[in-house]
Amino acid sequence: MSKLIYLDGELVPEEQAKVSVFDHGLLYGDGVFEGIRAYNGRIFRLDQHIDRLYRSAHAIMLNIGMTKEEMAAAVVKTVRANELRDAYIRLVVTRGVGDLGLDPRQCPKATVFIIAATIKLYPEEMCRNGLQIITCSTRRNMPDAVDPALKSLNYLNNIMAKIETIRANAGEGLLLNNEGYVTECTGDNIFIVNGKRLITPPVSAGVLEGVTRDCVMELARVAGLEVEEGLFRLTAVYNAHECFLTGTAAEVISVTEVDGRAIGSGTPGPATGMLQQRFADYVRQEGTPVYS
Ligand code: PXG
């Protein structure tokens, strides 16, 4: 069945959902985006995703031309039009159509599109047994150049790391910053666990402030774990009791091996399992209803 795509205020069949070759999102990666999930007819943390989208847009001086409320309504409308209950939603705002120069003033109006599709999940076996990941030689973008906290259409840094990950036949690729501190994976945040203590790199290390990361930190605190944002190096990962990743696609997924080193027992640990369960329960209850 052909999908209905939201494009600049209208729902159009996917065959007609086309953007110009002069769109600066394509010519320069000049734009911002979000990846959002819906579970059981509810959009997970929609407001948080929209807030992050508008923060990213503000930082690059991109006027979206819609209020946050209008954007939220457009997302709901797109999911509903496609009759989805479980969905992966891609929300993209580009600088819009301009000429061949960089000058964003030549782009009078942002392009906004929303795709509601289904998500490609990690294979069941990886969810159960955990991921084997590698550290990539590609370093995370420096926050004082292109800040990873900005979810921009410039994802080449992540793509380069993804290519290394694929070539190594690994489940994910971990990126360090220029000082050698652990940042995040190509599409997921990272946590290490020692006893009752969870540690994840701070946003200032050069990471995206993940919506799943935030949620898992809340759930962990409720469960009586200590949660800290702090810098750490690879040695701390290799010697952690447990390690896991969080992300819209991955949810909470265990990491059982990093660069050939077994993490803890080399099998998914108890804190990770507990948080996986709490997250799964939580997403089914919480969220903006699509059908009411
Ligand atoms: N870091 C980076 C670089 C990301 O791209 C995350 C962390 C996790 O953030 P959220 O807000 O999702 O918890 C992301 C998000 C995919 C896919 O298909 C990847 C993401 C989101 C949705 C789908 O690989 N990455």
Report the percent of the chain where pLDDT is more than 90. 95
Question: Is the pLDDT assigned to residue 1 strictly greater than 80?
Answer: no
Q: What is the DSSP string of the chain?
A: -PPEEEETTEEEEGGG----TTBHHHHH--EEEEEEEEETTEETTHHHHHHHHHHHHHHTT---SS-HHHHHHHHHHHHHHTT-SSEEEEEEEE--B--SSS-GGG--S-EEEEEEE---PPPHHHHHH-EEEEE-SSPPPPTTTS-TTS-BS--HHHHHHHHHHHHTT-SEEEEE-TTS-EEEESS-EEEEEETTEEEE--GGGT----HHHHHHHHHHHHTT-EEEE----HHHHHT-SEEEEEETTTEEEEEEEETTEEPTTSS--HHHHHHHHHHHHHHHH-SEES--
- Distance (Å) from CA 165 to ligand 1 centroid: 16
Confirm whether 77 is a catalytic residue.
Answer: no
Residue bearing the CA closest to ligand 1, atom 7:
188
- Distance (Å) from CA 100 to ligand 1 centroid: 30
Q: What is the pLDDT of residues 34-70, one digit of tens each?
A: 999 999 999 999 999 999 999 999 999 999 999 999 9
* pTM attached to this predicted model: 0.97
Q: Is the CB of 192 under 6 A from ligand 1?
A: no
Q: What are phi and psi of 27, to 5 degrees?
A: -70, -35
How far does CA 160 lie from the centroid of its chain? 17
Q: In order of start, what are the domains of the chain with their CATH numbers?
A: 4-117 (3.30.470.10), 124-283 (3.20.10.10)
**120, 151, 162, 196: which is the annotated catalytic residue?**
151
- Longest C-alpha distance within the chain, in Å? 57
pLDDT of residue 121: 81
Average pLDDT, the chain: 97
pLDDT of residue 279: 97
Residue 233's pLDDT band, with cuts at 50, 70 and 90, is: very high
* Burial group, residue 195, by CB count within 10 angstroms (0-12, 13-18, 19+): exposed
- Distance (Å) from CA 99 to ligand 1 centroid: 31
Residue 184's pLDDT band, with cuts at 50, 70 and 90, is: very high
pLDDT of residue 126: 85
pLDDT of residue 212: 98
Q: Is the CB of 35 under 6 A from ligand 1?
A: yes
Residues counted in the chain = 292
Q: What is the pLDDT of residues 241-266, one digit of tens each?
A: 999 999 999 999 999 999 999 999 99
pLDDT of residue 128: 85
Q: Estimate the crossing angle of helix 46-59 against helix 68-81, to 10 degrees.
A: 130
Q: Is the CB of 208 under 6 A from ligand 1?
A: yes
Q: Which of 39, 52, 208, 217 to mutate to test the pocket of ligand 1 (most atoms within 8 A of CB)?
A: 208
pLDDT of residue 120: 79
Question: Is the pLDDT assigned to residue 4 strictly greater than 80?
Answer: yes
Higher-confidence residue of 119 and 163: namely: 163
Question: Is the pLDDT assigned to residue 238 strictly greater than 90?
Answer: yes
- Distance (Å) from CA 188 to ligand 1 centroid: 5
